[in-house]
Amino acid sequence: MINGLLGRKVGMTQILRDDGTVIPVTVIQAGPCVVVQKKTKQRDGYDAVQLGFVEFVKPRRVNKPMGGHFKKAEAAPVRFLREMRVNADEGANPGDKVMVDIFNPSELVHVVGTSKGRGFAGLIKRHHFGGGQASHGSMFHRAAGSIGSSAYPSRVLKGMRMAGHMGSERVTVQNLRVERVDQDNNLLYVEGAVPGPNGGYVVVEKSGR
C-alpha cells in the first residue's frame, strides 16, 4: 500500500467542528497521482514507487529522455515526481492511479514542502537574535557580536550562525491531523500550517502513529 500522495497547496481557511471549535486548516489538492515507475530490491536495491502529480504539461516542456520514461509507463507527462517507499508485497504497477481516499479523517500525516524564500536576511530575522540596546549612544543595535576567539583557534568555526540566505529549504511538518477528505474534488484539509507558498508542491505521508 502506498502511504503518501503528491499535491499542491491551495491556501488556508477555517472549519467548524461539531463541538463549535474553530480550526485553522490548510487545503491541499492531494492527487490524483499516477505510478510512473516501480523499483524493486532485486534491480534497484530497495522497494519504492515513483509517483507523478497529474496535471497538464505542455509537450515542449518535456525532453526526449523524460518523454520515453513516461511513454514506458503509459502515463501522461507530469511536472512533479517523487518516490515513495513501499513494502515488497504492497507495491503498485506503472500506470496505476492513487487518489486522496487513501487518507481518513482524524489520522495524522507528515507534510513536506519547500519554505518561502526570504533572500539575504540578517541575524535578527534569520536566527531570532535579540540584538543589543536600542538606547542613544549604543553601537550594538543589530550587530552579530563575537564570532569566536582571537588567539585560539584564530578562525571562525563552521556552523556559526550569521547573516545569509534564508528560506527555500526542505521543511517537514509532522503529525498534522486530517480534518476533512473531499474525494470529489481531491482536496485534503489538514489542521495547521504547511510550508511553502500557495500553489507550491507538497508531499503528504501517513505518520504511522
Q: Is the pLDDT of residue 169 over 90?
A: yes
Q: What is the mean pLDDT of the chain?
A: 87
Per-residue pLDDT, averaged over 114-136, amounts to 92
pTM here? 0.81
- pLDDT digit string, tens, across residues 35-92: 888 888 888 888 888 888 888 878 888 888 888 877 887 777 888 888 888 876 666 7
Q: Go through the domains of the chain in sequence order and give each one's CATH number.
A: 4-118+170-206 (2.40.30.10), 119-166 (no CATH)
Instruction: Lay out the sheet containing 33-39: strands in order across.
Output: 81-85, 48-53, 33-39, 97-98
Work out the average pLDDT over 20-33.
89
Percentage of the residues of the chain whose pLDDT score is greater than 90: 39
